[in-house]
């Protein structure tokens, strides 16, 4: 994308290119200047500003030649040296300013990346803290559930124990009844059939009670296994909580490191800004030095003119004395 330049800006750019080529002793032409201006395609436009530069150069050389009485070659070389010195000084301080600006931009980019990492680490830390709170809530609920399950298991165990005790007592009563019935069987033949029937029923009841006792024992075993599984889950949750706390501590350390890095970058940015300001002051001093150099040259020319006037005056006096 080309950027349009105003007349003064284009004149300054053409003048700078011509002075640079002239100070290096290279050929200066409209075509060469045009090739160094990618944003300009018109030869006539460049020719106008090139001619303005050339006219000013020739006028300065002619004025200096007339005032100082030096040869055209000496004047050209002298002007080329002055132009080269000014151009090199301006280029050097422009490079210094551009380098400082580039370092400032790099520091700003590093600071933005550090801030972005800080924001990401902060968001991750908030997520971890939220997860820790959720796990702690889950652990609290699991503790309450475990306590409720433990209480329920204790009640079931007590109930099963009571049922087992009652079953044992019932078995003892059945055996006692069976023994009594057997004694009655010996004394009363008529009760044999009913006694056998009762004996069979009592035996079935005993088998049924024994089966219930076995089922109750299995239920107790399953409840105990369930309690062990819940205890293992609690242990895993406690281990997970400890791991998350360690990660949180590591994130805290990383955050402190990033904050220290950010402070360092801010200090570096301040140093670069100070350096940039110093370079700008040096550039202004250099420009002042160039202006002062031009003033000294002008004063030097005026001094030479005064000396030439004095020499002519003495020559006239000597000429008059010789004629007398």
DSSP string, 90-126: HHHHHHHHHHHHHHHHHHHHHHHHHHHHHHHHHHHHH
Q: Does the pLDDT of residue 156 top 70, yes or no?
A: yes
> What is the pLDDT confidence band of residue 101, given thresholds at 50, 70 and 90?
low
Cα first-last separation, the chain? 80
Q: What would the mean pLDDT of 59-75 be, rounded to a whole number?
A: 68
> What is the pLDDT confidence band of residue 73, given thresholds at 50, 70 and 90?
low
- Residue listed under structure tokens 């105990």: 224
C-alpha torsion angle, residues 144, 149, 151, 152 (rounded to 10): 140
Q: Does the pLDDT of residue 170 top 90, yes or no?
A: no
> What is the pLDDT confidence band of residue 292, given thresholds at 50, 70 and 90?
confident
> What is the pLDDT confidence band of residue 2, given thresholds at 50, 70 and 90?
very low
> In this predicted model, what pLDDT tens digit does every residue of 204-257 receive, in sequence order?
887 887 888 788 778 868 877 777 776 787 788 788 778 878 887 887 888 788
Q: How far apart are CA 31 and CA 17, in angstroms?
A: 12
Closest residue by Cα to residue 157 from 224, 255, 61, 229: 224
CA–chain centroid gap for 316, Å, is 83
Contact 96, 282 (CB under 8 A): yes
Q: How far apart are CA 43 and CA 54, in angstroms?
A: 16
Q: What percent of the chain has pLDDT over 90?
A: 8
Higher pLDDT: 73 or 140? It is: 140
Q: Where are the alpha helices (DSSP H) in the chain?
A: 7-23, 30-35, 43-68, 72-187, 192-323
> What is the pLDDT confidence band of residue 26, given thresholds at 50, 70 and 90?
confident
Higher pLDDT: 218 or 196? It is: 218
Alpha-carbon distances of 150 from 89, 154, 162, 213, rounded to whole Å: 89, 6, 18, 22
Q: How far apart are CA 57 and CA 80, in angstroms?
A: 10
Q: Does the pLDDT of residue 74 top 80, yes or no?
A: no
Higher pLDDT: 3 or 324? It is: 324
Contact 220, 160 (CB under 8 A): yes
Q: How far apart are CA 160 and CA 213, in angstroms?
A: 8
Q: What would the mean pLDDT of 72-89 be, rounded to a whole number?
A: 64
Q: Does the pLDDT of residue 50 top 90, yes or no?
A: yes
Long-range contacts of 16-22 (CB under 8 A, 24+ apart): 16/87, 16/90, 18/50, 18/53, 18/54, 19/53, 19/83, 19/86, 19/87, 20/87, 20/91, 22/57, 22/80, 22/83, 22/84
Q: Does the pLDDT of residue 147 top 70, yes or no?
A: yes
pTM: 0.28
17 exposed, middle or buried (CB, 10 Å; 0-12, 13-18, 19+)?
A: buried
Reported residue count of the chain is 324
Q: Residue 255: which residues within 8 A CB-CB, separation 6 or more?
A: 118, 121, 122, 125
Helix 72-187 and helix 7-23: axis angle, to 10°? 110
Contact 104, 268 (CB under 8 A): no
Alpha-carbon distances of 134 from 127, 244, 249, rounded to whole Å: 10, 12, 18
**Average pLDDT of every residue of the chain:** 77
């Amino acid at each position: 994308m080309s950027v349009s330049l105003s007349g003064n800006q284009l004149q300054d750019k053409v003048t700078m290119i011509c002075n640079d080529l002239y100070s290096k002793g290279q050929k200066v032409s409209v075509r060469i200047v045009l090739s160094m201006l990618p944003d300009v395609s018109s030869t006539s436009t460049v020719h106008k500003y090139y001619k303005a530069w050339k006219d000013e150069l020739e006028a300065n050389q002619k004025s200096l030649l007339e005032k100082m009485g030096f040869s055209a070659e000496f004047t050209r070389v002298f002007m080329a040296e002055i132009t080269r010195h000014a151009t090199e000084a301006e280029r050097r301080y422009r490079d210094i300013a551009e380098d400082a600006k580039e370092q400032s931009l790099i520091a700003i980019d590093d600071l933005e990346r550090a801030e972005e990492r800080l924001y990401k680490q902060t968001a991750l830390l908030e997520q971890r803290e939220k997860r820790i709170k959720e796990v702690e809530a889950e652990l609290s609920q699991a503790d309450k559930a475990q306590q409720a399950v433990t209480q329920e298991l204790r009640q079931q165990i007590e109930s099963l124990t009571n049922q087992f005790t009652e079953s044992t007592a019932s078995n003892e009563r059945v055996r006692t009844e069976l023994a009594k019935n057997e004694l009655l069987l010996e004394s009363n033949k008529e009760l044999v059939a009913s006694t056998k029937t009762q004996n069979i029923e009592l035996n079935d009841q005993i088998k049924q009670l024994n089966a219930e006792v076995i089922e109750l024992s299995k239920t107790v075993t399953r409840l105990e296994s369930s309690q062990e599984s819940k205890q293992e889950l609690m242990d895993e949750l406690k281990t997970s909580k400890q791991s998350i706390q360690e990660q949180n501590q590591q994130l805290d350390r990383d955050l402190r490191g990033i904050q220290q890095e950010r402070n360092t970058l801010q200090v570096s940015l301040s140093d670069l800004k100070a350096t940039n300001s110093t370079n700008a002051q040096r550039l202004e001093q250099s420009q002042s030095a160039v202006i002062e150099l031009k003033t000294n040259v002008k004063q030097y020319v005026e001094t030479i003119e005064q000396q030439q006037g004095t020499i002519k005056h003495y020559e006239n006096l000597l000429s008059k004395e010789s004629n007398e």
